[in-house]
Amino acid sequence: MSGLWRSRDFLVLLGVQTLSAFGDALTFAAVPLLMRTGAISITDLGWVRALSAVATLLTGIVAGVIADRFDRRTVLRICDLARFVLLGSIPLAWLAGPQPWLLFLVLPAAAVFAMVFQVTYVAVVPALVPADRIAEANGLLYGSYSVAYLAGPAVAGVLSQGAGPVAAIGLDAVSFLLSAVGLLLIRIRRPATEGTERGLGAGVRFIRRHPVMLPLTVLLAVLIFFTSSLNDVVVYHLMRGLGQSDAVIGLVLTAGVLGSTLAAAAVAPLRRRAGFGATWIGAFGLCGLLVAGIGLASNVPLIAVLAAAVTLCTGIAGISSVSLRQEVTPGHLLGRVTAAFWTLQLVLAPAGDAALTFSAKQLGVPLTLGVAGAAVTITALAALFTPIRRRAATPPPPPA
């Protein structure tokens, strides 16, 4: 670990992305809180999420190519500056009164730049740290991301209580400007050009040929359908069903993110002992039961505990999935495989966003989350009939 702390470029990246993640956490909590102002409904929010998912899905077609073809630091900075302008327009427009129509334009547009940034970001890490430190670097980055999300929702709740949700969105915009400035201090090595395959198709072909990546991608697409709007439904449950304040909702979301922090510490020993298959299947199988439990719960502390357990499970499964992709993918294909992997996962997300939020309003949260939770558990168990069930899909990384 000492080698990472001596890397100026990596430390700058860690710092600016922690700040940016804190800003993201503010918007993560603030957008659903707009429902309290009456500016948007749960159905409107579902459509905004669906449009954002479509934008992300379409961007994935070119994001990997952009990350591999252009200067990566420049790409990252353009994405940050674009999101600064887009998200900053929301509080400025709101000065003249609520402008809910702007959310349907700004948030999907911001999702375009977020997708390009995320794909490029994954490809940048190996260029900043030695090959034998990549796993440790990812652990630090994930840990800082989780810590930022611990504080963000609580701050957003308090800020929303006093100044309104759009103030939190404005603070997020400022974090992107600071991130863009910080990226000027980073030097990124250009990757060596290898292979002859071009475009997103190279990533898709790699996934199609891999015995574990293919079923993993298909199952994750189904899982995302039932979970992509889970946060919005939980906020709706707390706000409309239980009559909680913005500050309390922010604290519940913060408690939920605590699970992600615990996941960063738990995943390595779990994977070493149980292997990838059992870890991934077990995490999502339990996750489905917990999601159904949230729908039945009427006690706020219990909902907070269940939300933390859900993010613990999804965090363990998610980190395992990312690690697997990094282990089995050749370096020169990592950007395109990452873009293809995320794009294919999101095929059903727009429909899931619309369906879950519509169902919560029309059929109620208990039934909606009960059905969603059962579907998550059944989908996870379906992995037992695929090569995912093997103890080790690839040799696990050495203990940190």
Q: What is the pLDDT of residue 372?
A: 92
Q: Can you list the domains of the chain with their CATH numbers? A: 2-188+199-389 (1.20.1250.20)
329 by DSSP, 3-state: which?
coil
Distance CA 240, CA 355 (A): 18
The token duo for 111 is: 């999702």
Token code pair at residue 77: 């900075």
* Pick from 107, 92, 244: nearest CA to 167: 92
The angle formed by the CA atoms of residues 24, 314 and 213, to the nearest 5 degrees, is 105
pLDDT tens digit at each of 400 positions of the chain: 446 666 777 788 888 878 877 877 777 777 777 776 667 777 777 788 788 888 887 887 788 788 777 888 888 889 989 999 998 898 898 887 777 788 888 889 988 998 888 888 877 777 777 766 665 666 667 667 777 776 776 777 777 777 777 887 888 888 888 888 888 887 776 655 554 455 667 788 888 888 888 999 999 999 999 988 887 888 888 887 787 877 788 778 777 777 877 877 777 778 778 888 888 999 999 999 999 999 888 888 898 899 889 988 988 888 788 777 777 777 667 777 877 887 788 778 778 878 888 888 888 888 999 999 999 999 999 999 999 887 554 443 333 3
pTM: 0.70
195: buried, middle or exposed (CB in 10 Å: 19+, 13-18, 0-12)?
exposed
**Which has the closest alpha carbon to 292: 365, 347, 352, 341?**
365
∠ CA 39-43-46, rounded to 5°: 100
Sequence-distant (6+) residues with CB within 8 A of 116 are: 59, 63, 66, 67, 75, 79
CA-derived radius of gyration, the chain: 20
Which amino acid appears at position 99 of this protein?
A: Q
Per-residue pLDDT, 374: 94
pLDDT at residue 286 in the model: 94
Looking at residue 396, its pLDDT comes to 38
Distance CA 58, CA 53 (A): 9
